Amino acid sequence: MNEKNETTEVMEDEAVADATPDVIDPIEALQDALAAAKQDVLYAQAETQNVRRRLEKDAQDARAYAATPFARDILSVSDNLERALASIPEELRADDKFKALVTGLEATGREITTVFERHGITRIVSLGEVLDPNKHQAMMEQPSEAEPGTILTEMQAGYMIKDRLLRPAMVIVAKAG
């Protein structure tokens, strides 16, 4: 009878072992759920950090480039002042009556340049440079001995605000003669 009991016990153990894979272990299920929750938290933290960085960059860009529309408007004032100074003939510049006026206009031009520089607005260097469509707008081509694509004349100055184009320079470009 002992042999019969041992055989029965072995069969019962095998039955329990065979039945175990079908039954879900609650500890394993909880561990899997915990791992999934940890992964979800990590993804949520990473997404939050990305959103925070994006918002910081947007705020920084807004501060850096907030003056762009105003700067574009002031460029026309600067252009008009340059044209006015360029149109004053030499004999009037030497005349004592107009000397103070010319000096005042030149001082105003320097002050505008200083204010531009203080706010990150810089003039684009064009003359003698190769045409860069990101900074220059070719208005005409002119036959020249210069290398084709070289800027010969600047019709209107171009400006950058920090690393962005504020206004392209309008230029005349050399073409093969």
Q: Is 23 left (phi over 0), alpha (psi -120 to 50) or beta?
A: beta
Q: What is the pLDDT of residues 71-88, one digit of tens each?
A: 999 999 999 999 999 999
Q: Record the pTM.
A: 0.68
pLDDT > 70? residue 16: no
